[in-house]
Amino acid sequence: MDHQEYDIITRMNEKYIKMSKGHKAIAAYISDNYDQAVFMTAAKLGETVGVSESTVVRFATGLGYAGYPEFQKALEAWVKNKLNSVQKMDAKYGKSTQSEILNSVLTSDIEKIQDTIVNLDAAAFEAAVDIILEAETVYLVGVRSCEPLADFLHFYLNMIRGNVVLIKTTSVTEMFEQMIRIGANDAIIGISFPRYSMRTLKAMEFANDRNAKVITITDSIHSPMNLYSSCNLLARSDMVSIVDSLVAPLSVINALVVALCLKQPDAVKKNLETLEEVWNNYQVYLNDEINFIDEEPMLNYPLVKGEDEI
C-alpha cells in the first residue's frame, strides 16, 4: 500500500474538511504540538484540547484506527520518522565534500523550479493576479518556515496596493481576531508546505466561510491547503534535509509581484515616487542608496566629511 495511507498527518489532512468542530480542534492541536501529543493519554489529550475522552477515541477510530492505542502508535511512528531527518541527511550528504553538497543542493533547487514551471496552472496564476488587484483587503498568512515568504510578499504588495494585512500570531484565536472583518470583497493568501500548518488551514477555512476569495501557495494537489482554495498555485518544496527548500515558492511569489506591477504600472510608479519623496523629506535614506525609480545610481554623497572628502 501507499506510504501516505499509513501517514497519520496525511489522514488527518484528508479528512479534516468533514470533521466535527471537536475533531478539528484535536487535529489542529496534534499537528502543531505533535511532540507533546505523542506522550498523552486519550484523557489528557481531551483535557488539553477541551473535549471529552470519548471524543478523542472517536477521533482515532474516525481516522481508521482500531482505537486510541493504535492511533498513538501511528503518531509515535510519524514523530520518529520526523526526528530521523538528520540521519536521512547524513545518508545523502555524509561522505560528500562541501563543494559536492553545494552542487547537489543547487541542482535540486533548479529541478524544483523546472518542475514548478511544468505543473503550475497558468489560468490559476492569472486568476490570482486579478483577485489580488480587485480585493478590498488582502490578508496574508504563513507560519513557521513559511513566515519569511509571507513577509516578503507583504513587503511588495504594500508597495503595489493598499489594505494588505499580514497575519502575525502564534495562536488560532489571535489569528481570527486579526481576520474578524474579512468578507466577500476580500481575499486571503495562505502559504503552507509540509509539514502543513493547521493554523493556516483554519484561517483559510474561516475566510472561505466568510465568502472571501482564497488563494493558496502550496506544494501539490494533495495538500490540505487546497480544501478551501479556489485558486491553487503549486510549487515544489521537498528535500532530504532538515531544511525546507523554498526556492520555487519564492520564485512563484516573485512572478506574482512582477505580474501585479505590469497590470498597473502607473499606480506602482506613483506609489514608489511617493515613498521616495517621503524618504528624502525625512532623510530615511542617505544619497548613497540606489534610486530604484530612475534606475540610476545616486552615489554623490561624500563617504568622508572634511578636507579629505571623496
Rounded mean pLDDT of 246-251? 89
CA 205 to chain centre: 15
- Asked if residue 182 and residue 148 are part of one domain, the reply reads yes
Residue that wins the pLDDT comparison between 190 and 173: 190
- Asked if residue 233 and residue 116 are part of one domain, the reply reads yes
Between 25-29, 80-84, 158-162, 270-274, the lowest mean confidence (pLDDT) is in 80-84
Average pLDDT, the chain: 80
Asked if the bond preceding 236 is cis, omega within 30° of 0, the reply is no
Please give the pLDDT value at position 184: 94
> For the chain, what percent of residues have pLDDT higher than 70?
79
Contacts of 299 (CB under 8 A, 6+ apart): 287, 288
- Asked if residue 107 and residue 189 are part of one domain, the reply reads yes
Between 124-133, 160-169, 285-294, the lowest mean confidence (pLDDT) is in 285-294
- Asked if residue 165 and residue 109 are part of one domain, the reply reads yes
- Asked if residue 131 and residue 245 are part of one domain, the reply reads yes
- Asked if residue 190 and residue 138 are part of one domain, the reply reads yes
Final residue in a domain of this structure, among 56, 83, 110: 83
Give the C-alpha separation, 143 to 198, whole Å: 10
Check whether 213 has a pLDDT greater than 50: yes
Residue that wins the pLDDT comparison between 264 and 82: 264
Residue that wins the pLDDT comparison between 234 and 291: 234
Final residue in a domain of this structure, among 83, 101, 136: 83
Q: Which of 100, 18, 8 is nearest to 63 (CA)?
A: 8
- Asked if residue 123 and residue 59 are part of one domain, the reply reads no
Summarised one tens digit per residue, pLDDT across range 87-132 is: 555 555 556 676 776 777 787 778 888 888 888 888 999 999 999 9
- Asked if residue 196 and residue 69 are part of one domain, the reply reads no
| Torsion-angle region of 229 (φ positive above 0: left; ψ -120 to 50: alpha; else: beta) | beta
Range(s) of the domain holding residue 15: 3-83
Confidence of residue 266 (pLDDT cuts 50, 70, 90): confident
- Asked if residue 239 and residue 186 are part of one domain, the reply reads yes
Confidence of residue 295 (pLDDT cuts 50, 70, 90): very low
Q: Tally Cβ neighbours within 10 Å of residue 177.
A: 11
Give the C-alpha separation, 123 to 127, whole Å: 6
Final residue in a domain of this structure, among 60, 83, 106: 83
Does 169 map to a domain? yes
Summarised one tens digit per residue, pLDDT across range 12-48 is: 877 887 889 899 889 888 877 888 888 899 999 999 9
Rounded mean pLDDT of 129-146? 91
Are 305 and 285 in contact by the 8 Å Cβ rule? The answer is: no
Residue that wins the pLDDT comparison between 95 and 189: 189
β 187-191/213-218 pair status: parallel
- Asked if residue 142 and residue 77 are part of one domain, the reply reads no
Check whether 188 has a pLDDT greater than 90: yes
CATH number at residue 43: 1.10.10.10
Check whether 189 has a pLDDT greater than 90: yes
Between 11-25, 95-109, 171-185, 248-262, the lowest mean confidence (pLDDT) is in 95-109
DSSP characters over the chain: --HHHH-HHHHHHHHGGG--HHHHHHHHHHHH-HHHHTT--HHHHHHHHTS-HHHHHHHHHHTT-SSHHHHHHHHHHHHHHHHTHHHHHHHHHTT--HHHHHHHHHHHHHHHHHHHHHHS-HHHHHHHHHHHHH-SSEEEEE-GGGHHHHHHHHHHHHHH-S-EEE---SSHHHHHHHTTT--TT-EEEEE--SSPPHHHHHHHHHHHHTT-EEEEEES-TT-GGGGS-SEEEE-----SSSS---HHHHHHHHHHHHHHHHHSHHHHHHHHHHHHHHHHHTT-S-TTSEETTTTEE---S-SS-STT--
Does 306 map to a domain? no
- Asked if residue 79 and residue 9 are part of one domain, the reply reads yes
Please give the pLDDT value at position 210: 93
- Asked if residue 110 and residue 40 are part of one domain, the reply reads no
Rounded mean pLDDT of 211-233? 88
Confidence of residue 310 (pLDDT cuts 50, 70, 90): very low
Number of domains the chain contains: 3
Please give the pLDDT value at position 283: 62
